[in-house]
Structure 1
Amino acid sequence: MKSTDPALRESRQFGVRAVPVLRPLGWLARGWRDLMHCPGLSLLHGLALALGGTLIFWLARDRFWLLAGAFSGFLLVAPVLATGLYALSRAIERREDASLATVLAAWHPGDTRLVRFGLLLALAGTGWVLTSASLITALAPGVVAKPFDFLRQVVLNDQSHLFEVWLALGALLAAPVFASSLVAIPLLLDRPVSVLGAVFTSWRVVMEHPAPVAFWALLIMGLTLLGMATAMLGLIVILPWLGHASWHAYRDLVRAAG
């Protein structure tokens, strides 16, 4: 416990603001404004992330038992990959130059905090991939190789509750990851706080204001599914939009010290 005491004290330097339940709609509005302010760099981030999702789909196209977990695991790691978008929104907020240099500066080689946090998210994503693949291959009544197999053998199977179990396990992993990263990554970019201090701050936000955070999570999930339903093309716009909006979520929810 002593090892966490400094991080707890560090977290308490940041206040948590109360926001209305519907405030996430305002984050989306401001995120869209930022996207329109620097569309080229924003959409470049979206294209890179969408290509990453497409690559995962292509590599696991005949192994859907792996694809289901791999793609959702990729979405767990995506917030740290959007660090450049947070940097752009911060520059716009400060009325500074929002350029490629701004994005590159966010990944300062001497600051390993974001890399370490990204590795933690990647570890969580890998754990979910392995759990998902093991669950489906072990309990599915037939071979799950293609999307239709997953739909027939897992989702629409009336003889088992595999899909419900799969969703429950996914939520069990995704909820703490979301709670840990809600404001942690923008905070790491914005302030000289430790990874654990940022995570504790993120958890304080979730515990003190669960309703708007839950609404924000639903919006993220719904928009991401919409983007996936358009053969990944919608993600080119939706992912940077959500990235910019996440910066405004951080600025609304956390009262930074000093």
Structure 2
Amino acid sequence: MASGTSLPPLRSIPIGQPLQWLVRGGRDLWRCGWVSAAHGLALALFGGVLLALARDRFWLLAGAFSGFLVVAPVLATSLYALSRALERGEPADARLVLQTWLSWRRSDAQAGGKDWRLVRFGLLLALAGTGWVLTSAALITLLAPLPIRTPLDFVRHVVLAQDSRLFELWLALGGALAAPVFASSAVALPLLLDRRASLLQAVLTSWQAVLANPLPMALWAALIMLCCLLGFGTALLALVPLLPVLGHASWHAYRDLVDASALPERSSGAAPAPTAKDGP
């Protein structure tokens, strides 16, 4: 970018706007059909694998599921692309999903190499998620009065423990991780998909969007958590529709919060055409 890390203008939104994002996300899921729902099914199946691997080790499962949520914004990249295509009247199909993921491997003419912004951001989120999984497992195994093997053990000996503050400590540390991750990723990935912005620009824009709209974004974070809890509480079945809705809704959050019209566009599902002022 010619202007280095200059950020696009931001918009203020009413506090109830996140509810509209969910409505639009549900509409996009309906319009995309199985292509969108397949994302939710794949992620729910992955959650099922985690559940099968750690069914007798809930001390690990609790951290693994919450760590999975940390990296979920990267996994939803093709959902942003589908919503973008619907907005533009372009085909929103399986071919676009494939092109979206392959486009990040194509040459970046200005940088003289590959465009690894999505990969780098995904690795950062994966490191954050892994750090939380390890921290959560260490807390529960070292400080719980009895071994935690099942969800009922977790409720009895961690959540409802009378003489322990382990659950409060677990929540506090989880929140301390989740807050900066949410602020960094709220609109960063849709922006990277839509426009030729640097990773630093995208993350700083996401932070500014959250800080400029604290109450609506707090509601948005609470809605995301509520949807995920609903999914977990239904043996992952509700995640099949809810995860695509959240992914599509995140695209609409970006569109409402960020005026990115001054930044060069990325082409839909393909490598962007090089321009003289584009940066990595």
RMSD value, Cα: 1.3
Structure 1: runs of 5+ lacking an equivalent: 1-5
Task: Name the CA distance, whole Å, in 2 between partners of 1:131 and 1:246.
Answer: 28
Task: Name the CA distance, whole Å, in 2 between partners of 1:9 and 1:209.
Answer: 25
Task: Name the CA distance, whole Å, in 2 between partners of 1:11 and 1:206.
Answer: 17
**Is 1:54 paired with 2:37?**
no
Please report how far the alpha carbon of residue 106 of structure 1 lies from its aligned counterpart in structure 2 after TM superposition: 1.5
**Is 1:187 paired with 2:183?**
no
Please report how far the alpha carbon of residue 228 of structure 1 lies from its aligned counterpart in structure 2 after TM superposition: 1.1
Q: 1:77 is aligned with what amino acid?
A: V
Please report how far the alpha carbon of residue 184 of structure 1 lies from its aligned counterpart in structure 2 after TM superposition: 0.2
CA contact (8 A) 1:7 1:200 kept: no
Closer/same/farther in 2, CA of residues 51 and 8 from structure 1, 3 Å limit: farther
Closer/same/farther in 2, CA of residues 118 and 7 from structure 1, 3 Å limit: farther
Closer/same/farther in 2, CA of residues 7 and 126 from structure 1, 3 Å limit: farther
Closer/same/farther in 2, CA of residues 81 and 11 from structure 1, 3 Å limit: farther
Closer/same/farther in 2, CA of residues 7 and 175 from structure 1, 3 Å limit: farther
CA contact (8 A) 1:8 1:200 kept: no
Return structure 1 stretches of 4+ with deviation > 4 angstroms. Answer: 6-9
Query: Residue in 2 aligned with 1:172?
Result: 176
**Is 1:163 paired with 2:167?**
yes
Query: Residue in 2 aligned with 1:100?
Result: 94
Which of 199, 223, 231 is residue 227 of structure 1 equivalent to?
231
CA deviation digits over 1:61-108, x for unaligned, max 9?
Answer: 111111100110001101110111000000000000001111122221
CA deviation digits over 1:95-150, x for unaligned, max 9?
Answer: 00001111122221123211111111000000000000011111100111111111
Q: Secondary structure at the match of 2:91?
A: coil
CA contact (8 A) 2:183 2:206 kept: yes
Query: Residue in 2 aligned with 1:148?
Result: 152
Identity %: 64
Which of 5, 11, 17 is residue 10 of structure 1 equivalent to?
5
Task: Name the CA distance, whole Å, in 1 between partners of 2:27 and 2:157.
Answer: 43
1:1-258, aligned counterparts within 5 Å?
Answer: 9-12=4-7, 14-107=8-101, 108=103, 109-110=105-106, 111-258=115-262
Please report how far the alpha carbon of residue 7 of structure 1 lies from its aligned counterpart in structure 2 after TM superposition: 11
CA contact (8 A) 2:5 2:200 kept: no
CA contact (8 A) 1:27 1:249 kept: yes
Closer/same/farther in 2, CA of residues 16 and 121 from structure 1, 3 Å limit: same
Task: Name the CA distance, whole Å, in 2 between partners of 1:139 and 1:192.
Answer: 47
Please report how far the alpha carbon of residue 11 of structure 1 lies from its aligned counterpart in structure 2 after TM superposition: 4.1
CA contact (8 A) 1:180 1:203 kept: yes
Please report how far the alpha carbon of residue 56 of structure 1 lies from its aligned counterpart in structure 2 after TM superposition: 0.8
Task: Name the CA distance, whole Å, in 2 between partners of 1:90 and 1:101.
Answer: 14
Structure 2: runs of 5+ lacking an equivalent: 107-114, 263-280
Q: TM-score, normalised by structure 1?
A: 0.95
Task: Name the CA distance, whole Å, in 1 between partners of 2:214 and 2:100.
Answer: 29
Task: Name the CA distance, whole Å, in 1 between partners of 2:4 and 2:197.
Answer: 11
| Count of equivalent residues | 252
Task: Name the CA distance, whole Å, in 1 between partners of 2:99 and 2:6.
Answer: 25
Q: Which has the higher helix share?
A: 1
